[in-house]
Amino acid sequence: MIPRHGAIAALQKFLSKHADNRRIHGMTIDTITRLARLVLDTNC
């Protein structure tokens, strides 16, 4: 299992590489990262 911090860092790197104008389908990278943290906090 990937540690929480490592998972968030990997997600941010992926999103930064593939996002146009720091957005994916209208959502900012920051919003997606916050939602991922919420999911990880809720499930762990």
Question: pLDDT tens, 1-44?
Answer: 678 889 999 999 999 999 989 899 999 999 999 999 999 888 86
pLDDT confidence of residue 43: 82
Phi, psi at 18, each rounded to 5°: -105, -5
Domain ranges of the chain: 4-43
CB 35 within 8 A of CB 26: no
pLDDT confidence of residue 34: 96
Closest-CA residue to 14 (of 33, 27, 39, 31): 33
pLDDT confidence of residue 44: 61
